[in-house]
Amino acid sequence: MTAILSLPARRGAKGLRVLPIVEIATLVVAIAAPFVLSDRIDLVTLATNVLILSMLAISFDLCWGLSGIMSFGQALFFGVGGYVIALVGRDLGFSHIWGTLPLALLTGFLLSALLGAFLLLGRKTPTVIFVALGTLTGSYAAERLVSGWQYVGAGNGLSSIKLLQAGSYEFVEGTAFYFLALATLLVVYVAARILMRSQLGLVLAGMRQNEERLAFVGYRVQLFKALVFSVAGAIAGVAGALYSYHQGFIGPGNMGPGLSTTAVLYCLFGGSGTLIGPILGTIAVEVITYALADIDAIKSIWPVVLGLVLLGVVMFQPKGILGFFVSDRERIGSYGERPQRGA
């Protein structure tokens, strides 16, 4: 403790930084998990799912936590990513990782750019409610559309999806897929972290606090939002592709309001605005759901319980689990040290 205190005082009295410790601890656990769980394939599968869904949670966090876009439609891009790679596998017989993951990324990006342009770039500044309803409607409409469309399997969705390939290697459920998902999540995480801590992240932080103020100093606020929304859509697209390869299945439910809302829950539960929060939230919700899934009495009322948890979080702990041990100042973050004069 004295060693810490005797370090040269960092600017401000920020105290110990908690987030990097949480991040490193999470990474260590994530790397160790498949080895610890190696004889329980069902748990490795669960863990892989958690990693993939974490990307969806981060995708939502970029919208809401970073840019103040209340998107109730992130599953739309997730689902479309999943469907696209399933169709490319079925109709073109192609499932190479270097082709399909970028394709899902691009599809998610373009689709969200389109929806974002429509919802955000109008002449009038859109309200949070307008954007929430717009994204929700998009997600709902997509789910309905797909449920009635024979070409994409209608209500049954698409199953027996062609396995993901890297060279001649085929990814099936298990440790290899787990590490693929972990690597992808890590790339997404690092990229999002760079974005968040850059001066662009500072602009977004300013927008969150007072959008009008930023417009009056000369920022095209809605354009920044549309950009982040598109990046978030790209991430959801990749996550959806991995999901459908991993499950061997993609269905209408994977792009509807149900999953979209679950992403909101992951993020708010863990702590929006930090990047590690959504991951912790996903782990917590998915692990608890899994543990309780065998108990029939709880299973049927579980969605209700989750709904109540979400309500409770919004009302009593809007900063999520992380809010308990990370200070506000650290949560909001800094955007680089101030260069010292003469130094």
Partner 1 sequence: MALLEVRNVGKSFGTLRALDGIDIAVQAGTFHGLIGPNGSGKSTLLKAIAGAHFPNSGSITFDGRDITTATPYERARAGLSLKFQITAVLPELSAYDNVLLALQSDQSLWSLLSSRTRRRLNGEVMTALERFRLADRADDLAGELSHGQQQWLEIAMALAPRPKLLLLDEPTGGMSPEERRVTGELLQPIRSHCALVIVEHDLDFIKDICDHLTVLDQGKVLDDGTVAEIERSTRVQEVYTSRV
The yes or no reply on residue 17 touching partner 1 (CB under 8 A) is no
As a whole number of angstroms, the distance between CA 213 and CA 190 comes to 30
Q: Which of 265, 222, 263, 33 has its CA nearest to residue 113?
A: 222
Could you tell me which stretch among 16-24, 26-34, 152-160, 329-337 binds partner 1 (CB under 8 A)?
329-337
The yes or no reply on residue 117 touching partner 1 (CB under 8 A) is no
One residue of 18, 227, 287, 309 binding partner 1 per CB under 8 A: 227
Site for partner 1 in 180-219 (CB under 8 A): 194-195, 197-200, 202-203, 205-206, 209-210, 212-219
Rounded distance between C-alpha atoms, residue 15 and residue 205, angstroms: 22
294: contact with partner 1 by CB under 8 A? no
Binding residues among 147-186 for partner 1 as defined by CB under 8 A: none
Instruction: Answer positive or negative: Cα dihedral of 95, 98, 104, 106.
Output: negative
50-109 positions binding partner 1, by CB under 8 A: none
Residue 7 CB, nearest distance to partner 1 (Å)?
Answer: 17
Judged by CB, which is closer to partner 1: 1, or 16? 16
Per DSSP, the three-state class of 95 is coil
Nearer to partner 1, 81 or 201 (CB): 201
Per CB under 8 A, 126 contacts partner 1 = no
Q: How far is the CB of 337 from partner 1 (least distance, A)?
A: 9
Q: How far apart are CA 119 and CA 127, in angstroms?
A: 10
Q: How many CB atoms are closer than 10 A to CB 338?
A: 8
- Establish if 292 lies at the interface with partner 1 (CB under 8 A): no
The site for partner 1, by CB under 8 A, has a size of 34
Question: Which one, 130 or 219, has the nearer CB to partner 1?
Answer: 219
Q: Which of 183, 323, 197 is nearest to 242 (CA)?
A: 183
Q: How far is the CB of 17 from partner 1 (least distance, A)?
A: 16
**Which three-class secondary structure state does DSSP give residue 166?**
strand
Nearer to partner 1, 167 or 218 (CB): 218
Q: Which residues of 252-261 are buried (b: 16+ CB within 10 A; e: fewer)?
A: bbbbbbebbb
Of the pair 186, 223, the CB lying nearest partner 1 is at 223
**Which amino acid, residue 32?**
A
| Closest to partner 1 by CB, 19 or 250 | 19
DSSP per position, 197-259: HSHHHHHHHHHHH-HHHHHHTT--HHHHHHHHHHHHHHHHHHHHHHHHHHHTEE-GGGGSHHH
Q: How far apart are the first and last CA of the chain?
A: 29
- Taking CB under 8 A as the criterion, the residue among 220, 293, 301, 312 binding partner 1 is 220
Which residue stretch of 72-80, 94-102, 109-117, 335-343 sits at the interface with partner 1 (rule: CB under 8 A)? Answer: 335-343
DSSP string, 40-52: -HHHHHHHHHHHH
Shortest Cβ distance from residue 43 to partner 1 (Å)?
Answer: 39
Strand partners, 170: 165
Selected binder of partner 1 within 122, 148, 303, 336 (CB under 8 A) = 336
Pick 176 or 200: Cβ nearer partner 1: 200
Q: Can you tell me which residue has the tokens 């991951």?
A: 279
**Contacts with partner 1, residue ranges (CB under 8 A):** 11-12, 194-195, 197-200, 202-203, 205-206, 209-210, 212-221, 227, 328-329, 332, 334-336, 338-339, 341
